[in-house]
Amino acid sequence: MSRAAPLPSHDTTTTTSVTPPSREGRIGAAQPSRKDQATTAQPSHEDTTLTTPPSREDQLARYQQMLLIRRFEERAARAYTEAEVGGYCHLNLGEEATVVGLMAALEPTDYLFTNYREHGYALCRGISPGRIMAELYGRRDGVSGGWGGSMHLFDAQSRLLGGYGIVGGQLPLATGAALAVDYRSGSEVVMCLMGEGTTNIGAFHESLNIAALWGLPVVYVVINNGTGMGTTVEQSSAEPEIFRRAASYRMASARVDGTDPVAVEHAAAEAVAVARTGRPYLLEATSERLRGHSVVDPAAYRSPETVAAVRAADPVALLAAALLADGVDEETLAAIDTQVLADVAEAVAFAEASEHPDPSTLFDHTYATPVPNDSRRLPGDALYPAAPRPAGRTPGTTSSGAPATPARPAGLGASTVTQHTGAHA
């Protein structure tokens, strides 16, 4: 396609109702520095009990979404080991409750930036599993047309503004998207996801500082699974309680149990509501990474005790157990699984049937505004076709065989020069 139109700015009037969440801890903007922040209502610890339990219907819907992520990721891992998926492949296994809870708090018009572990977020934004799997397969019908791969899912329509492979790269971008919303007096919120290891990079601090200074509508969400690849949060972060880092920017923040989708949804809804009033927010969700850092990582550095603890925190299993305890029968859960597996199988079939991008499209996306002299040379191409060597040419003569003297005939050579129109003409 040619130059894409800028993403439209939609004005929404939707307000988000906030139910106080349960959570492990929170801090607020302890010392608001600006008058307009002095009225910030910080939730207190008394708010931390749910007033109403989630309905069974809602819980089953959450279970369906979480299981879709689980089965999609398991299938993606298989496709990777079958070499259908290339590059890197990072999975949301173990983070399903966090993903589902966070995405439930966003309006369709809100913007989302993620890191490279983002298949589940794309699913929850309503992008068809087939288009996501097709991107993993590098096919034309992939969300990014086969240009991005697993780490770089993008869908303008659902306002997923990219998975990003460089740790921390998405933070300044999300901050800038929030600047654009603020500039146009929009009511959208930008949510920006990252892992806890990202909070040690300069872009984290620069972005939070700017967002707080300028009052930007952005929610930074840290998925704290306790490890970078193998380095623990205690080894890498001098303040391992990540949500406390917001205090440096007088920014409201909270920590929530990321294995509980209801708690995450409520915490995220509150964060989004704060951001919608023009104040950034830092939300930390604690969860476990069920497997290694990426598909190829066997996580051999984990002790048996850690492996057991990770399994015990499996949010899909926890929710299934809770549903069964609540009286849902096993057949209902099995039927959900059957449907989800069918959806994933259909996604794989879609990806397999989608065509590979044609090499003739290689230069389609270098520039949005066409410019002269844009290189479209393939690796083996000569810049200029080799001219046949003139017969009898000897060093010290020109190609015309004439002596190399200054008495050149005027106009020798192509005169395709562009005349300068500036002061020196």
| Residues 373 to 402 in contact with another protein, rule: CB under 8 A | 373-375, 382-384, 387, 389-390, 393, 396, 398-399
What is the spatial distance between Cα 137 and Cα 249, in angstroms, rounded to a whole number?
41
* Binding residue for another protein, selected from 101, 162, 280, 315, defined by CB under 8 A: 162
* Binding residue for another protein, selected from 309, 317, 335, 412, defined by CB under 8 A: 412
In the bound complex, what is the minimum distance in angstroms from residue 126's beta carbon to another protein? Answer: 16
* Residue count (the chain): 425
Contact 59, 323 (CB under 8 A): yes
Q: Which is nearer to another protein, 126 or 390 (CB)?
A: 390
Closest Cα partner for 64 from 386, 390, 338?
Answer: 338
Helical axes 96-104 vs 315-325, angle rounded to 10°: 80
In the bound complex, what is the minimum distance in angstroms from residue 58's beta carbon to another protein? Answer: 33
57 near another protein, judged by CB under 8 A = no
The residues in 164-183 that bind another protein, with binding defined as CB under 8 A, are: 164, 166, 168-169, 171-181, 183
In the bound complex, what is the minimum distance in angstroms from residue 398's beta carbon to another protein? Answer: 6
Q: For another protein, which stretch binds (CB under 8 A), given 97-105, 252-260, 303-311, 412-420? A: 412-420
Q: Which is nearer to another protein, 60 or 180 (CB)?
A: 180
Q: Which is nearer to another protein, 78 or 408 (CB)?
A: 408
Q: Residue 183 is inside which H or E element, if any? A: helix 170-183
Interface size with another protein, residues (CB under 8 A): 87
Q: Which is nearer to another protein, 103 or 151 (CB)?
A: 151
404 near another protein, judged by CB under 8 A = yes
What is the spatial distance between Cα 101 and Cα 310, in angstroms, rounded to a whole number?
20
In the bound complex, what is the minimum distance in angstroms from residue 94's beta carbon to another protein? Answer: 27
* Binding residue for another protein, selected from 146, 197, 258, 278, defined by CB under 8 A: 146
Beta strands in 175-292 (DSSP E): 190-195, 218-224, 252-257, 281-286
- 222 forms bridges with which residues in the sheet? 194, 284
The residues in 98-127 that bind another protein, with binding defined as CB under 8 A, are: 111, 113
Say how many C-beta atoms besides its own lie within 10 A of residue 267's C-beta.
31
* Binding residue for another protein, selected from 156, 308, 342, 345, defined by CB under 8 A: 156
What is the spatial distance between Cα 103 and Cα 265, in angstroms, rounded to a whole number?
8
- Tokens for 108? 């369709």
Contact 96, 71 (CB under 8 A): no
In the bound complex, what is the minimum distance in angstroms from residue 409's beta carbon to another protein? Answer: 9
410 near another protein, judged by CB under 8 A = yes
161 near another protein, judged by CB under 8 A = yes
Distance of CA 182 to the CA centre of its chain: 21
- For 354, counting Cβ atoms within 10 Å of its Cβ (0-12 exposed, 13-18 middle, 19+ buried), the class is buried
Give a three-class secondary structure readout of 194-225: EEHHHHHCHHHHHHHHHHHHHCCCEEEEEEEC
The residues in 179-218 that bind another protein, with binding defined as CB under 8 A, are: 179-181, 183, 202-203, 206-207, 209-210, 213-214
Q: Which is nearer to another protein, 4 or 300 (CB)?
A: 4
b (16+ CB within 10 A) / e for 173-195: bbbbbbbbbbeeebbbbbbbbbb
The residues in 6-35 that bind another protein, with binding defined as CB under 8 A, are: 6-7, 9
- 26 forms bridges with which residues in the sheet? 254
Helical axes 96-104 vs 56-81, angle rounded to 10°: 130
Contact residues for 33 (Cβ-Cβ < 8 A; gap 6+): 250
Q: For another protein, which stretch binds (CB under 8 A), given 52-60, 76-84, 117-125, 406-414? A: 406-414
The residues in 346-365 that bind another protein, with binding defined as CB under 8 A, are: 364-365
Q: Which is nearer to another protein, 304 or 370 (CB)?
A: 370
* Binding residue for another protein, selected from 17, 52, 360, 418, defined by CB under 8 A: 418
219 near another protein, judged by CB under 8 A = no
In the bound complex, what is the minimum distance in angstroms from residue 383's beta carbon to another protein? Answer: 4
138 near another protein, judged by CB under 8 A = no
The residues in 220-259 that bind another protein, with binding defined as CB under 8 A, are: none
In the bound complex, what is the minimum distance in angstroms from residue 134's beta carbon to another protein? Answer: 12
